[in-house]
Structure 1
């Protein structure tokens, strides 16, 4: 599996992860991608293990919290579900600068949503912190008869960008938990474990002249 992207390129030392009042690390994950790719459905499936057939367009940004434990570390995942319509683009992009990770979605039954991934990647590179982590997510894998984007196409694009890749189905739940858990685990290992290994304990994780890591960016 590819390592997640470093959107800024070059050598980047990880930022500190913020710790909440209850001793859980706060991790901000943004859902981005074209409208109707199923971003809200993925969040609901992960957060509540439910799927609704009622389509509701996200206006601006919606927000949910989910407490998880990743390799023994309590983490509070803040799931920011952003609107995909162009008219909300400037609003949602204002949230990019605070993100720790992105789930960049496309619909495997919608070719334009896949073609637009490059534009979303450009926005992330321009506006997001240089050490954020990304997963490329091909959603609606249950619509096999309507598929127009092959699994290999998605995987190859993810490899080109140097990001993790998952195909998911919010309808069936396939790979949804695994995708979010994988992204959170990557963030935990890089932003907590590596920094603690450098001797920075407690809430000062990520601070001080740590080892910098070169991470891939194509384009």
Structure 2
């Protein structure tokens, strides 16, 4: 962790497999786009039996999140339709104060486009989310989307004094009580160790 920053904010990028989450982040952070892109491993969380162990994985993924970007591929109707499923997870597992932004990806593929810009805008407006249509390949709106989102998330996190945003290396006294409590709890357990 960088020692020079005052705050640490957790951002999640979610969306169906192949919508361009990795390309989107690489374009912004590394200023590059690779083609053909080798997909990262796709992981879906399934809870067919209602088993608590699967819920714990999903819960921990969303825990402490300050912002979530939901990405869909403008050339893939299913990825747009599945936004509702992603929103159910957010409602169930994310903090109530989380900022959310809707991102349409691959806008450079005009001839393959099945979700027009207006549809994405209207849907985001109905939900009250900011919206950007982007192209990682052509570097269209990628910086604008990230920078707008970072400002919104950072401002809200600081204003609401969101938990776990202060850098513990810069503000050690604020974490001393938490560490002390955790040590006392672990010493008092009568478990198997």
Band of TM-score, shorter chain: 0.7 to 0.9
Q: 1:164 aligns with which of 130, 136, 144?
A: 130
Q: Partners of 2:84 and 2:131 in 1: how far apart?
A: 15
**Structure 2 residue 3 is the aligned partner of structure 1 residue 38:** no
Higher helix share: 2
Deviation per CA, 1:23-63: give whole Å up to 9, x if none.
Answer: 3311111110000000000000000110011333323xxxx
Residue pairs, 1:146-161, within 5 angstroms = 146-161=112-127
TM-score (norm 2): 0.73
**Structure 1 residue 99: deviation in Å?**
1.2
Residue pairs, 1:5-44, within 5 angstroms = 21-44=3-26
- Per the alignment, residue 146 of structure 2 pairs with 180
Q: Partners of 1:93 and 1:170 in 2: how far apart?
A: 30
Q: Partners of 2:3 and 2:102 in 1: how far apart?
A: 32
CA contact 2:19–2:72 (8 Å) conserved in 1: yes
CA contact 2:45–2:58 (8 Å) conserved in 1: no
Q: Partners of 1:194 and 1:121 in 2: how far apart?
A: 22
**Where in structure 1 are there 5+ consecutive unaligned residues?**
1-18, 60-82, 196-201, 205-219
**Structure 1 residue 180: deviation in Å?**
0.7
When structure 1 is superposed on structure 2, of 110-119 and 88-97 the one drifting more is 88-97
**Structure 1 residue 92: deviation in Å?**
5.6
Higher strand share: 1
Deviation per CA, 1:110-161: give whole Å up to 9, x if none.
Answer: 0010000011011111111110101100000000111000111111110111
Number of aligned residue pairs: 156
Q: Partners of 1:150 and 1:23 in 2: how far apart?
A: 39
Q: Give the SS at the match of 1:94.
A: helix
TM-score (norm 1): 0.65
- Per the alignment, residue 113 of structure 1 pairs with 79
**Where in structure 2 are there 5+ consecutive unaligned residues?**
48-53, 162-169, 175-193
* Dislocated runs of 4+, deviation >6 Å: none
Q: Return the index of the structure with the highest Cα Rg.
A: 2
CA contact 2:103–2:134 (8 Å) conserved in 1: yes
Kindly tell me: are residues 54 and 94 of structure 1, through their superposed partners in 2, closer, same or farther at Cα, counting changes over 3 Å? Answer: farther
